[in-house]
């Protein structure tokens, strides 16, 4: 049987260590060579501007549009992503998607016929919203863009002076400011300003460029992406509602392709008409030119000879026999006999 343990004062008990609170370092004390200090968070201020932008697309977009959408998400740390929307759904469904994602701004890429790209900018849910046709798209991954900037840095927004002259451009300027500007002290942003978003109006279109600030003397290098926005309409509501402005210079891609086809057909039709005219000229009756009386001036008349009719048959020529012929025949016969004897 196992011996019972003695429970008394004589039994030695292990001394338990008392839990002590960790000693806080003094505020003025500097970390030693073997100590590590945790850096403070990047955004130390208070995040007040709660702008969130939902960036997503419809089904049927091509690879270039997908890369452009991903580039905008990379450049805008206050953006959110969502799955592609079915083309059968109506556009006002996007307002409910933004509400579920807790977003108050939206950039929606709409693809049609697998070749035309439309971009919507909207303030959810009150509006306004604008619809653009996107042209000349170049992404960040292309080798033409040699610049580079810090991920999550806050951009400067540069606008053309023409944005302040027209009322519809003023509405778009305010919409772009609220969408593309990164909120101050955003948790995912960095407290640096090292690139510029430029919006320029040329040829009735808005040209978007992204430049990196290389040095303190404000020298710029283009990063990308780049694209051109052709304004179609501005609506009062979010993805619909009364039309505030309609671009009179806008030409739909279908109409443009139709005019190109008609111009090609007109050139072909013109060539066919030229060929038919040439055939008519060749087969047509030639115009008879009147005789020139001066053509007979240098012609000398010849003397006419009397016509003689021969009534008597001409005499036949005498036949001259070849005297050497019988000799040749005799020689041939002699050769034959000589061959047979041999």
pLDDT at position 35, please?
72
Instruction: Give the C-alpha distances (Å, rounded to integers) separating 255 from 7, 133, 233, 249.
Output: 102, 14, 17, 13
**Inside any domain, residue 222:** yes
**Inside any domain, residue 231:** yes
pLDDT at position 27, please?
47
* Strand partners for 106: 54, 122
pLDDT at position 322, please?
65
CB 128 within 8 A of CB 237: yes
pLDDT in tens, 247-291: 999 999 999 999 999 999 999 999 999 999 988 888 876 666 778
Chain length of the chain: 342
Domain that holds residue 224: 53-255
Both structure tokens of 44: 């130390």
pLDDT at position 232, please?
95
**Inside any domain, residue 331:** no
**Backbone dihedral angles phi then psi of residue 142, each to the nearest 5 degrees:** -75, 150
Return d(Cα 332, Cα 326) in angstroms, integer. Answer: 10
pLDDT at position 172, please?
95
pLDDT at position 181, please?
92
**Inside any domain, residue 305:** no
Q: How many separate domains does the chain show?
A: 1
**Inside any domain, residue 214:** yes
CB 214 within 8 A of CB 178: no
**Inside any domain, residue 124:** yes
**Inside any domain, residue 168:** yes
Low-confidence residues of the chain: pLDDT under 70? 1-34, 36, 38-44, 143, 285-288, 320-324, 342
pLDDT at position 6, please?
53
* Strand partners for 15: none
**Inside any domain, residue 313:** no
Q: Which domain CATH number covers 250?
A: 3.40.50.10480
Q: How do beta strands 240-246 and 190-202 pair?
A: unpaired
pLDDT at position 136, please?
93
């Amino acid at each position: 049987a196992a011996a019972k343990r003695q429970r008394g004062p004589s039994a030695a008990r292990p001394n338990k260590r008392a839990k002590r609170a960790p000693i806080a370092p003094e505020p003025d004390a500097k970390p030693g060579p073997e100590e590590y200090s945790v850096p403070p968070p990047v955004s130390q201020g208070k995040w007040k501007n709660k702008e969130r932008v939902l960036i997503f697309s419809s089904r049927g977009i091509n690879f270039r549009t997908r890369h452009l959408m991903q580039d905008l998400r990379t450049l805008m740390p206050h953006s959110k992503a969502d799955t592609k929307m079915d083309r059968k759904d109506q556009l006002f469904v996007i307002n409910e998607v933004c509400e579920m994602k807790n977003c108050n701004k939206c950039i929606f890429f709409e693809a049609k016929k697998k070749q035309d790209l439309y971009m919507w900018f909207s303030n959810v849910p009150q509006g306004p919203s604008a619809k653009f046709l996107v042209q000349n798209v170049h992404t960040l991954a292309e080798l033409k863009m040699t610049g580079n900037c810090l991920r999550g840095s806050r951009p400067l927004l540069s606008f053309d002076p023409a944005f302040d002259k027209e009322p519809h451009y003023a509405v778009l300027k305010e919409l772009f400011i609220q969408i593309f500007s990164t909120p101050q002290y955003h948790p995912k942003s960095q407290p640096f300003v090292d690139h510029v978003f430029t919006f320029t109006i040329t040829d009735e279109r808005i040209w978007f460029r992204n430049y990196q600030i290389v040095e303190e003397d404000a020298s710029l290098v283009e990063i990308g992406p780049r694209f051109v926005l052709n304004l179609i309409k501005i609506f009062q509501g979010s993805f619909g509602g009364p039309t505030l402005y309609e671009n009179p210079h806008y030409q739909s891609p279908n109409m443009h392709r139709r005019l190109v086809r008609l111009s090609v057909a007109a050139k072909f039709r013109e060539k066919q008409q030229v060929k038919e005219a040439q055939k008519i000229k060749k087969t047509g009756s030639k115009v008879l030119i009147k005789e020139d009386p001066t053509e007979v001036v240098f012609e000398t008349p010849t003397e006419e000879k009397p016509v003689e009719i021969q009534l008597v048959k001409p005499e036949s020529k005498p036949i001259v026999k070849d005297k050497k012929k019988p000799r040749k025949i005799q020689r041939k016969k002699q050769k034959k006999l000589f061959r047979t004897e041999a």
